[in-house]
Structure formats: structure tokens, C-alpha cells
Structure 1
Amino acid sequence: MRALVVREVGAPLRVEEIELPAPGPGEVRVGIRAAGVCHSDLSMVNGTLAPSYPLALGHEAAGVVTEVGAGVSRVTPGAHVVLNWAPPCRNCWYCGHGEPWLCAGLGSPSTPRGRTEAGEPLHVTLGLGALAEEVVVPENAVIPVPAALPFEAAALLGCAVLTGVGAVRRTATVAPGESVAVIGLGGVGLSVVGAARAAGADPVLAVDVSPAKAGLAIAAGATHFLLADDKLSRSVRERTDGRGVDHAFECVGRGSTIRTAWRSARRGGQVTVVGMGAKDDLVPLSALEIFHSARTLRSSVYGSSDPDRDLPELARAVLDGTLDLAPLITDRTTLDGAAEAFDRMARGEGARTLVLPGPQS
């Protein structure tokens, strides 16, 4: 089978033949039908994260179960599933206290699984390596969804949508009438925009460095689009009676944009960091402004969501028409075009590119 592989930090991305093991006890094989190109995958390529190489990329995907190992009870062959890149153990302290997104068993950016065509040990991104024709994963890493759910929508639910919607609903608990700013308009940021608008937020200020994102922002539900320039703080305050927003969401993963989100929030407001950044990228905050501003700064890991609980709910919303994911998809390509999709993402172009390695029916 084929997969998109990177061999070292900054190396070219290439589609390679790889070999995966047969599903063992408690494992399933999934034929991938759609996979999103996510910024976390780019972090594996550019060194923001430190996985092992060679590495099969991809973690946001949906497909069809083709084979199951001994003892699997969650799914049977033919089931349509979304992949879960952070399956909780259900046994640790965090899982037992209702925080499965912080499960003690999670955290490694790559997992050894399979071999390259030359026989080298292969690693897969976040236990999945889903920019591929097939994956072999533990059964708790798949979530069954209705067969009527399009694979493109199902793939997005597994990361961008669950993360963005969860950040609004579960981490920040945005209420009707509250003001929101969203900084960074990739797939996750646009999901935050849509979820904030659906929660009744007003205004919803969508912020990006690229003017080309304006149309995407408005289509996703933003009331205003603002350029991330040196006048941004003033622009935010002009639209919030001089205060700043109740909620600022940072969806980039950089110290500078976290600082921008901090400055965009009102006194007593909430700043929610959704983007994942580098460990040496620091955020300058003085002790005085922390005290004086009375703002809350927190992160949202996987949208503070329990995928087994929340993803089926989102799938139902797509099917009944109350959740429209069309504004998130700006490009579609084959596995052979996936490397170019990474280049577009690195340049800040578009929202989500979907890679379609297999049939869509």
C-alpha cells in the first residue's frame, strides 16, 4: 500500500510503498476514503514536534473497516468509521475524572508500526499515519458513524471540527450575545468561527494575515473580517464598545499570536489557545498586566472533547443540516497531490485540503 512519508525534519514529502502488519488482537484495518491535511502534520515535518522517522503522515481521516483482529467487538468489516488520534485509556486518573482529552496514555507524536518497502522500521503520526491507502489501528481508535455521512465530512469531524467546536462549547462555553475574536483561519479556526456563531455570539471577529481569507470567514459565520496588522487591537475595540472581546481564540500556535489574542480580550475576558506551538516559543506577559487585566488564559486540548461521546453528535448535526462543513473545504486532491497541499498550508492559503485515496461510495 502507499502512504505519504517524510524521512527527516524539512525533507521532501514523498508517496512511498509501505508494509503494515495484519491486524492483531484488538486491532482493525481501515481503508482510508478521505483524509484532511492538518497543521499538526506540518508540525511533524518542520520540527515543531519531535516524532521518529521515517514517518507516515496524517491523522484526520475516515474510511471503511476491511478487516478485524481477534476479540474486536467495536466494529465489523464494512463499518464506516472516523479515526481518533487520541483514544483515551478509560483507566487513568484523568479519564476517571472526566478529562479523557488529557489521558495519561497519550502524548507521543509517533508510534512504530510497519516497515518501508526497503525494510526500515516505520513510524506513524499520532498512532495513525492516515495520509495513506490503509491503516491498522487499535479498535478504540475508530468511531463508527452512519454510512449516510459523506467521507469528506466524516474526516473533518475527527480533528478540525471536534477541536474547533469543542473549544467553543466545552472549553470556553461561549454564551449567546458574547463577543468573540478568532485569530488564525485554517480549518480549526474556521470551525471555531462557525461554532461561535451557532452559539449566538455577536460580534464574531475573524482575524488572519491573509486578505484572501475574508470570504471564507464570512461564509463560516463571521460578522467581520479583520487583518492581523498593527491596528488590530484598535479594530477589535472599535467593534466592542472600546472593551475588547469576551472570548479570544488563538488558532495558530505561536507566541506572538497568543499575545495578540491576549490584547484583544477585554478585562475579565477569556483567552483560549487552540493552536499547538513549539516548546521554545515563549509568550511575554508581565506580572502587573496579569493582575490588572483579570483575564483567563487556558488551552483547549482536542476541544476538551470526548470523541466517543461528541463525534456521533456532530455527525448527526451534519446529517440533519444544522452543521455545514462546506466552508472548511477549499481543495481536494489525490495522495500524489498531498505534498503540494502541505506547501499551500505552509503559505497560509485556503482552509482544509482533503486527500481522497479511495472510492467515495
Structure 2
Amino acid sequence: MKAAVLFQPGQALAIEDVVISKPGPHEVLIRTAACGLCHSDLHFIEGTYPHPIPAIPGHEAAGIVEAVGSEVRTVKVGDAVVSCLSAFCGHCEYCVTGRMSLCLGGDTRRAAGDAPRITRPDGSIVNQMLNLSAFAEQMLIHEHACVKINPEMPLDRAAVIGCAVTTGAGTIFNACKVTPGETVAVVGCGGVGLATINAAKIAGAGRIIAADPIPEKRELAMKLGATDVIDASADGAAATIVEMTKGGVDHAIEAVGRPASAQLAVSVLRRGGTATILGMMPLAEKVGLSAMDLLSGKKLQGAIMGGNRFPVDIPRLVDFYIRGLLDLDSIIAERIPLSGINEGFEKMKGGASARSVIVFAQ
């Protein structure tokens, strides 16, 4: 099969032929239909976050099940599925207490002595990134890394649910538990930020403020449900948000991964408000609350993948799209072939567009 392989951080991905193994007892072979380009992939491609190489990135995908292992019970051949990087074991402390996104997923990987899932034609190992490696014509993954969805769902739209929408919407519904009438500020209007805004609208937030330095992103935010927009790079942006909300917001969500964006999120909280950091910041960075913030009851949290319970959440998000509540069409900026992946990431670096989605020939 064809796949986009990372051989060295900072270099372009190479379109290579690789060999995929047969499904083990709990594994699923999927014909990839579509995969979104996520900024998280770019962190690995550029070497900001380390990963063994060579490796195939990609984690925001949807496809059709082609084969299943002998013990698989959750999906069958022919099912439409969405993959999710927060693969869960189902029996650890995090899983049994309902925090599946925190599961380390050790049981969902092949054991050290087993044959690798992906190799090059010469037999050398190609590392599987984030349990998925979706920039490829096929994925071989654990059954707990995918979920069956409504077959009426267009798979190019379904793909972006696998990360951006699950993260953004999960943050609103699960991590923040936004209630009708609460105020929400979203810092960063890329794929995750736009999904967060859309979900805040669905949740009935009273005021949704989108902060981004790029005018095109702010325009998209208004289309997806923002009630107000502000240039995040403008002097006094935090003070402006505090003034327009008469004291700050109930929830401030950082969806970029930059220290300045995290500081803006913390700075716009009202008394008792919560800042949630979603973006992958440089590993050495820290975010904090002052003593006065703590005395004011303010809170700071992370929410990996939005604190999702993806076997439940992803089918619900698909239903939201089919019912016209979730606007995935506006989030997708372009559809490209696998051969255009490097150009897609260059556009991402420019920052003006939302999601690029690779669509594979079926």
C-alpha cells in the first residue's frame, strides 16, 4: 500500500510502498477513506515532539472495515468507522472510572516479540504513530481504536470527527460541561477551535467569543456560532474580553498550543471560571494561575482529546451532523490526494485555512 512516511524530522514526508500485516485476534484492517491534516501531526513532523522513526503520521481518519481478527466483536467487515488515537484497554483504573481518554492503551499495541504491524518491502520496521498511522491507504489497529458509525455519514466529513471535533466538542460537553447561558472564549480558530465554537453553540452558551489574529479564521468562527470575535494579537485583547463580558468568561479554551494563547485564556476568566488548555505547547512550557486567581476560585485544566468517551461520543457527533446541528462542511477547507500532503502542511503553517482532508481513491 502507499503511505506518507516520516524519515527525518523537519523533512518532507515521502510517499512510499509499505507492507501491512494481517489482523491479530483483536485487530481491525481498515481501508482508509479520508484523513485530516492535524497540527498535532506537524509537531511530530517538525520534531517538536519526539517519536521513533521511520513512522507514518496521521490520526484523524475514517474508512471501511476490510478484515477483522478472530476475537473482534465491536465491528464487522463492511462497517464504516472513525478511528481515534485515544485507544482504550477497557480494564485499567482510568477506563473503569469513565476516563477512557487517559488510558495509556498498553494492551492495544502489539507485544514486543510480535511481528510489527507495518514494514518496508525489505522487512525493516515502520513505526506506527499514535496507534493509527492513518496517512496510508490502509490502517491496522486495535478494535478499541475505532468505532462503527452510521453508514449514511460522508466519510470525508467523518474523518475530522476523529480528532478535531472530538477534542473540541468533547471539551465543551465532557471536560467543561458547559450549561446554557454560560460564556465561552475560544483562543485559536483552527480545526479544534472551530469545533469547540460549534459545540458551544449546540450546548446553548450565552456568549461565544472567538479570538484569533487571522481575519479569515474569525469570519469562519462567526459562521460556526461565535457571537463576538477579537484579534487575539491586538493590544489589550484580554481586557477587551473582560470588559465585554462584564468581568470575564465562565470558560476559556486554548486551542492553539502557544504560551501567549494560554496566558490569554487564563487572563479572561471571571471569578470561579475555568481555563482549559487543548493545544500541544512546547514541552518545556508551563501555564499557571496566580495566588489571586486561586483565591478567586479560578481553575486550570488540560483535556486530552476533550476527555472523550469515543465509542459513545463519536456516533453522537455523527448524528449531530446528519441532523444539521454540527457544521463539518465549513471546517473542511480543501480535499487533497495523498500526493498533496506536504503542500497541505505548508498551507497549515500559513494559518489562513481550516482543515485539509486527504481523500483516498476507493
What's the TM-score, normalizing by structure 2?
A: 0.93
Match runs of 1:292-311 below 5 Å: 292-311=295-314
User: Contact 2:248 / 2:269 at 8 angstroms: preserved in 1?
Assistant: yes
Q: Tell me the distance in 1 between the aligned counterparts of 2:197 and 2:159.
A: 19
1:55 matched to 2:55? yes
User: Contact 1:32 / 1:358 at 8 angstroms: preserved in 2?
Assistant: no
The alpha-carbon deviation at position 108 of structure 1 amounts to: 11
Q: Tell me the distance in 2 between the aligned counterparts of 1:250 and 1:110.
A: 34
Q: Secondary structure at the match of 2:169?
A: helix
Unaligned stretches of 5+ residues in structure 1: none
CA separation of 1:137 and 1:109: change in aligned 2, threshold 3 A = closer
User: Contact 2:137 / 2:360 at 8 angstroms: preserved in 1?
Assistant: yes
Q: Tell me the distance in 1 between the aligned counterparts of 2:228 and 2:95.
A: 39
CA separation of 1:72 and 1:283: change in aligned 2, threshold 3 A = closer
Could you say which residue in structure 2 is the equivalent of 1:202? 206
Q: Tell me the distance in 1 between the aligned counterparts of 2:360 and 2:73.
A: 27
Match runs of 1:17-32 below 5 Å: 17-32=17-32
1:190 matched to 2:190? no
Work out the percentage of aligned pairs sharing the same amino acid: 38
CA separation of 1:23 and 1:64: change in aligned 2, threshold 3 A = same
The one-letter code sitting in structure 1 at the alignment partner of 2:196 is V
Q: Tell me the distance in 2 between the aligned counterparts of 1:325 and 1:176.
A: 22
Could you say which residue in structure 1 is the equivalent of 2:241? 236
Could you say which residue in structure 2 is the equivalent of 1:96? 96
The one-letter code sitting in structure 2 at the alignment partner of 1:239 is M
User: Contact 2:33 / 2:64 at 8 angstroms: preserved in 1?
Assistant: yes
Q: Once structures 1 and 2 are overlaid, which stretch shifts more, 41-50 or 54-63?
A: 41-50
* Structure 1 residues 161-204: Cα deviation after superposition (integer angstroms, max 9, x where no partner): 11111101111111211111100111110000011112121221
Aligned with residue 148 of structure 1, among 141, 145, 152: 152
The number of equivalent residue pairs is 357
1:34 matched to 2:34? yes
The one-letter code sitting in structure 2 at the alignment partner of 1:317 is F
* Structure 1 residues 233-268: Cα deviation after superposition (integer angstroms, max 9, x where no partner): 122123112x11111000012222111100011222
The one-letter code sitting in structure 1 at the alignment partner of 2:327 is D
* Structure 1 residues 200-248: Cα deviation after superposition (integer angstroms, max 9, x where no partner): 212211111212212211111111111112221122123112x111110
The one-letter code sitting in structure 2 at the alignment partner of 1:297 is L
Could you say which residue in structure 2 is the equivalent of 1:249? 253
CA separation of 1:161 and 1:132: change in aligned 2, threshold 3 A = same
The alpha-carbon deviation at position 294 of structure 1 amounts to: 2.5
Q: Once structures 1 and 2 are overlaid, which stretch shifts more, 319-328 or 219-228?
A: 319-328
Could you say which residue in structure 2 is the equivalent of 1:43? 43
**How large is the RMSD of aligned CA atoms in angstroms?**
2.0
* Structure 1 residues 75-96: Cα deviation after superposition (integer angstroms, max 9, x where no partner): 2221111112112111111111
The alpha-carbon deviation at position 118 of structure 1 amounts to: 4.3
CA separation of 1:46 and 1:78: change in aligned 2, threshold 3 A = same
Q: Secondary structure at the match of 1:121?
A: coil
* Structure 1 residues 59-90: Cα deviation after superposition (integer angstroms, max 9, x where no partner): 01000111222232222221111112112111
Q: Tell me the distance in 1 between the aligned counterparts of 2:350 and 2:269.
A: 27
Could you say which residue in structure 2 is the equivalent of 1:260? 264
* Structure 1 residues 112-137: Cα deviation after superposition (integer angstroms, max 9, x where no partner): 53112443310122111101111111
Could you say which residue in structure 2 is the equivalent of 1:10? 10
Q: Tell me the distance in 1 between the aligned counterparts of 2:243 and 2:361.
A: 49
Q: Tell me the distance in 2 between the aligned counterparts of 1:358 and 1:293.
A: 55
* Structure 1 residues 133-168: Cα deviation after superposition (integer angstroms, max 9, x where no partner): 111111222211111111012111111111111101
Q: Tell me the distance in 1 between the aligned counterparts of 2:80 and 2:270.
A: 44
What's the TM-score, normalizing by structure 1?
A: 0.94
The alpha-carbon deviation at position 337 of structure 1 amounts to: 0.6
Q: Tell me the distance in 1 between the aligned counterparts of 2:344 and 2:108.
A: 25
Q: Tell me the distance in 2 between the aligned counterparts of 1:291 and 1:82.
A: 40
The alpha-carbon deviation at position 11 of structure 1 amounts to: 1.5
Q: Tell me the distance in 1 between the aligned counterparts of 2:294 and 2:218.
A: 35
The alpha-carbon deviation at position 347 of structure 1 amounts to: 2.2
User: Contact 2:33 / 2:361 at 8 angstroms: preserved in 1?
Assistant: yes
Q: Tell me the distance in 2 between the aligned counterparts of 1:22 and 1:123.
A: 16
Aligned with residue 343 of structure 2, among 336, 340, 345: 340
User: Contact 1:109 / 1:126 at 8 angstroms: preserved in 2?
Assistant: no
The alpha-carbon deviation at position 48 of structure 1 amounts to: 2.5
Aligned with residue 177 of structure 1, among 166, 177, 181: 181
